[in-house]
Amino acid sequence: MAKLKNRHTARLIDVWVPGNSGNNPGNYHWIKKLVILILLLVILIFLTSLWNYYDVSFKEKTPSSLVNESLITAPIIGKPGKVIWSVRAGNTPLLVTPLLDGETVYVVTGNRPETGKIFALDISNGGLIWERNLYSVADHAPVAAGDLIFVVIRTGELLALDKNTGKTEWSFSSESLIRGSPVVLNGVLYLAASKVYAFDAMLGGLIWEHQVGNSVSQQVTISGDVLAVISSDGHINLVDISNGKRRMTFRLWFGNTKFPQSDTDTLVLAGDKANVLAIDLSEKDVPMEKAMRSWWRVLWKLDLASRPPLPRGFLWWQRDLKGLYAHTLAMDHGFAFIGVKDFGNQSRLVALDISDGSVVWSNQFSSGLTQGTILNAGAITVATESGDIYRLSIDKGRELWHLKHDGELSVSPVTSKGIFVIADKEGRITALR
């Protein structure tokens, strides 16, 4: 009996020996719970990815009309030399690019709520057509579409004004600041505020809205059927313009990104330390891809896996411009034109090959470049803050002509119908031909 008890005891001991977990009831239940936990985690990640991919949006109305907002500028081949008129618009510096539409120049002025105004001037002689108080500051250029002018003011409002009278036709009040000028395409107005909104441009009816991260930090950029916008959490977000559903999010590796530009399927952004990044707008997120990439990255850091592939949509990253910061000015003819701020007051205009980000040419200037350009007739026109205006060939950056304005500038000149309009920090609007 003793031997039998000992054999039984030995068998029991053998059953509970660590490492023989296949017959261990305690380890079995522990492994079962772990497997269930992992499965639940995978399901949660999958559902989260699906929720993000098929983002919530809603449709209320369809556009009432078709609006063509494009403004075709007349090529300026020769150097403008004749001043045809010059007027003062208020007593404050002009810090916002004027809008040229048809026979009218629209100018927003004022750096305080009590001085905020918008003027409509006759492009032929600078005569006043109408003016109205905004009772706020407009930090972004107005936009024209159909019979309306759209103005964004610091109170978080978008005003749709009648072109001919300045009367408010409809308005929208956001719960936060509006980021940049709106974009109007085919009768739909796209706006970046606390969310991204799509409105019927003529009537103001909401078509869809889209929540982007915590909030939006830059104005929208549209190319084809894709809207791109930067969120405050450091992501570039691509949204389908037809329904407001998210297509892709792309984490940026640098900050201070401003004024992204697009050309066909390529989006180019620039920011801190003159970093420039190109993203393929045609790409879409794949459910669970980001979660898998995060786990892959952990394994790679632990030297348990190879380096994870580049993020979906990544094309190239230019880090050799060696400046304080940069912003994208324009894209055309296979080039991305980047304004680079250097130490001191110096700046550069750099032309990059869109296909690979390589530097094609670079021109240096003695003061900072203003935002905005004129790009037509195989040449690009840029301005410096000191009042120098340069016309350069696109292919090699060769100087075609140089114009010196007798005032400091914050924004680049604009042109229409052979007339060259300059807004300066002294509050003057000058038209040349």
- pLDDT of 281-318, one tens digit each? 998 887 777 777 777 778 888 888 888 878 889 999 99
Q: Do 83 and 432 meet the contact criterion of CB atoms below 8 Å apart?
A: yes
- 252 — phi, psi (to 5°)? -85, 150
Q: How confident is the model at residue 383 (pLDDT cuts 50, 70, 90)?
A: very high
Which sign, positive or negative, has the C-alpha torsion 90, 95, 96, 98? positive
Question: What mean pLDDT value characterizes the chain?
Answer: 85
Q: How far is CA 49 from the centre of its chain?
A: 24
- What would the mean pLDDT of 377-383 be, rounded to a whole number? 92
- What is the amino acid identity at position 146? G
Q: What is the pLDDT of residue 84?
A: 95
Residue 61 has pLDDT above 70, yes or no: no
Q: Do 327 and 371 meet the contact criterion of CB atoms below 8 Å apart?
A: yes
CA distance 100 to 142: 10
Q: What is the pLDDT of residue 76?
A: 61
Q: What is the pLDDT of residue 2?
A: 43
Q: What is the pLDDT of residue 324?
A: 94
Out of 16-20, 39-43, 140-144, 296-300, which region has the weakest mean confidence (pLDDT)? 16-20
Tell me the pairing of strands 314-318 and 83-88.
unpaired
- What is the amino acid identity at position 369? L
Q: Calculate Rg over the CA atoms of the chain.
A: 29
The residue assigned the tokens 């329904």 is: 243
CA distance 353 to 385: 26
Residue 261 has pLDDT above 80, yes or no: yes
Comparing CA positions, the residue from 164, 166, 98, 163 lying closest to residue 131 is 166
Architecture of domain 54-432: 7 Propeller (2.130)
Sheet holding 399-404, edge to edge: 374-376, 379-383, 388-393, 399-404
Task: Name the DSSP class of 297.
Answer: H
Angle, helices 289-301 vs 25-53, to 10°: value is 130
CA distance 62 to 242: 10
Out of 54-58, 267-271, 340-344, which region has the weakest mean confidence (pLDDT)? 54-58
233-259 pLDDT, tens per residue?
888 999 999 999 999 998 898 988 888
Q: Report the residue count for the chain.
A: 433
Q: What is the pLDDT of residue 413?
A: 94
CA distance 362 to 351: 6
The residue assigned the tokens 């706020």 is: 136
CA distance 86 to 421: 9
Q: Do 403 and 360 meet the contact criterion of CB atoms below 8 Å apart?
A: no
26-49 pLDDT, tens per residue?
666 777 777 777 777 767 655 554
- 389 — phi, psi (to 5°)? -120, 125
Residue 15 has pLDDT above 50, yes or no: no
Sheet holding 99-101, edge to edge: 99-101, 104-109, 117-122, 128-133
Comparing CA positions, the residue from 44, 149, 65, 52 lying closest to residue 100 is 149
Q: What is the pLDDT of residue 300?
A: 81
Q: How confident is the model at residue 187 (pLDDT cuts 50, 70, 90)?
A: very high
Q: How far is CA 184 from the centre of its chain?
A: 15
Comparing CA positions, the residue from 426, 385, 408, 431 lying closest to residue 109 is 426
Q: Do 136 and 112 meet the contact criterion of CB atoms below 8 Å apart?
A: no
CA distance 336 to 94: 27
Residue 89 has pLDDT above 80, yes or no: yes
Helix (H, G, I), strand (E, B) or coil at 293: helix
Sheet holding 246-251, edge to edge: 221-223, 226-230, 235-240, 246-251
Q: Where are the beta strands (DSSP E) in 89-142?
A: 99-101, 104-109, 117-122, 128-133
Count, in order, helices (H) and strands (E) of the chain: 3, 32
Q: How confident is the model at residue 162 (pLDDT cuts 50, 70, 90)?
A: very high
